[in-house]
Amino acid sequence: MALLEEISQVKAQPADRSNILKIWKIAGLLLIVTIIEFIFAFSLPESWKWMKISIFVGLTFVKAFYIISEFMHLKHETKVLIWSIALPMIFVVWFVIALIYEGGAILGAR
């Protein structure tokens, strides 16, 4: 390490504590959401199958939102870039609806 410091002429700027605190806060939030998913998976009654599935999918999108907007910094890019990444995902929504419907039809035909 001593050698590396000698050849380095660039002086590092001091860290902004509030930035680093924010990163750890979002990390904590992601971990708490995962723990909540675990608690729900084993504490909610089995008959609430669809209720549980909607909770898990909802919480997954909460986690995805924080990873994309903060960790990947998309929230701080220009609006056009945000929309050109987000809008094509409409095709995935269509694909989910179409193929899950198709899956039910195959089950009915078996």
Partner 1 sequence: MASTAIAAKNNKNLWQGGVSPLKASYGKIMMWFFLLSDAFTFSGLLITYGLLRYSHPAFEGKTADFVASHDYWPIPEKIFDAVPFLHGISIPLAFVGLMTFILILSSVTMVLAVEAGHRMDRKNVMKWMLWTIVGGLAFLSCQAWEWSHFIHGTDHGLIIGGETIFGANLAVNEYGPQLFADLFFFITGFHGTHVLSGVILNVIVFYQASVGTFEKRGHYEMIEKVGLYWHFVDLVWVFVFTFFYLI
- Contacts with partner 1 by CB under 8 A lie at 1, 4-5, 7-15, 19-20, 23-24, 27, 30-31, 34, 37-38, 41-42, 46, 52-53, 56-57, 59-60, 63-64, 67-68, 71-73, 76-78, 80-81, 85, 88-89, 91-92, 95-96, 99-100, 102-104, 106-107, 110
| The two structure tokens encoding residue 50 | 């669809």
Return the residue matching tokens 């179409």.
98
Smallest distance from the beta carbon of 14 to partner 1, in angstroms?
Answer: 7
Rounded-to-integer distance, Cα 58 and Cα 40, Å: 13
Smallest distance from the beta carbon of 13 to partner 1, in angstroms?
Answer: 4
| The two structure tokens encoding residue 83 | 């929309």
Helix (H, G, I), strand (E, B) or coil at 77: coil
Smallest distance from the beta carbon of 73 to partner 1, in angstroms?
Answer: 8
DSSP characters for 9-20? -PPPPPP-HHHH
